[in-house]
Amino acid sequence: MAGGRKAFLRMTIYPAIDIKGGRCVRLTQGRADQETVYAEKPGAVAELFRAAGSAWVHVVDLDGAFGGSPANLSAVEAIVGAGMKVQLGGGLRTRDAVAKVLAAGVSRAVIGTRAAESEDFVRQLVGEFGDRIAVGIDAKEGKVAVKGWVDTTALGAVTLAQRMDAIGVATVIYTDIGTDGMLTGPNFGAQEAMLKAVKARVIASGGVSRREDVVKLAELARRYANLDGVIVGKALYEGRVNLPDLLTIARGPAGR
C-alpha cells in the first residue's frame, strides 16, 4: 500500500549471488565482458551470508539469462543446502523450468523476459504457484530490458509493473540498469515512482554503494509499506558495506 506506515521496519536485505560458469561473479551493468570473479563456490558464499544473519539471498543464473534456460542448478542447490531462502532469476522462461527450480528448494522464482513477452504466462504461473512467483523488471532509461539486458523494449517499466500487479503478482523486483554494479547509489526517484504505482511488494535493486543508501531506503520504507527490501551485491563483495550492519538498519528502531 503506497503511503502506508510501518511502526517498525521489516525491510529485507537480499545479498546477491550471480552465477556464471558455476562461479560467483559480478557484471558491470549486466555486460558479460565486464566480469569479476569473487568466489569459485557460490554455496560457500551463501554460508557466509547465513552466518552474518541473512535469511534470504537473491541469486541470478547469468548463463540462464543469456542462454534462455537454467544452467547452474547444482550451484543453486548448494545455496539452498546452505540453509538460505533463495530468490532465483535467470532463464526461467517455461513452466517446466520454473517447476524444476521450485522443486529443487528455491523459495521464489523470478520471471523476467517472459513477463515482458506474455502476461498470460505469468498469470498461469501465479495461478499454480501463488506468491512463489515474482517478476523482475529491469529498466534502462525507464524502458524494460530483456534477455540478460541485451535487448531493450519499448515497454515502460511502470506500465509492465502495473500489469503484473493487476494479475496478482505479489512481488516485483525493480532494477535500474544504469546504476547496477556502478556503486553510484540507487535511482531513488525511479524506485519511489514504482512504489507509488503498484500495490505489490517492491524489492529495490541497483546501485547500493554505502550504508547511507540503505538508510535512505529504510526511510522510504516508512512511507511506503510495499517496499519489501533491497538487493545488495558489489558493495558487499568489495567491503564497502557490512552485512550485519545492513541487517540492523533494516530491522529499524531499537533493532526490532
So what's the pLDDT on residue 30? 63
pLDDT tens by residue, 46-89: 999 999 999 999 999 999 988 999 999 999 999 999 999 999 99
Handedness of CA 216, 220, 221, 227 (dihedral sign): negative
Task: Round to whole Å and give the CA distance between 62 and 75.
Answer: 12
| All domains of the chain in start order, with CATH | 12-248 (3.20.20.70)
**pTM of the complete model:** 0.91
Summarize the confidence of residues 245-252 as an average pLDDT. Answer: 93
Mean pLDDT value of segment 141-157:
80
| pLDDT given at position 45 | 97
Q: Residue 256: pLDDT above 60?
A: no
For residues 227-248, average pLDDT: 96
Give the residue-averaged pLDDT of 35-48.
94
146-155, 168-177, 239-248: lowest mean pLDDT where?
146-155
C-alpha cell, 31: 555486460
**H or E element at residue 245:** helix 243-251
Mean pLDDT of 140-162: 84
Average pLDDT, the chain: 90
User: Are 173 and 138 in contact, with CB atoms under 8 Å apart?
Assistant: no
Rounded CA-CA distance 154/120 in Å is: 19
pLDDT band at 4 (very low <50, low <70, confident <90, very high): very low
pLDDT band at 209, cuts 50/70/90?
Answer: very high
Active site residues: 18, 138
pLDDT at 113: 87
Q: Could you tell me the three cell numbers for 159? A: 506500465
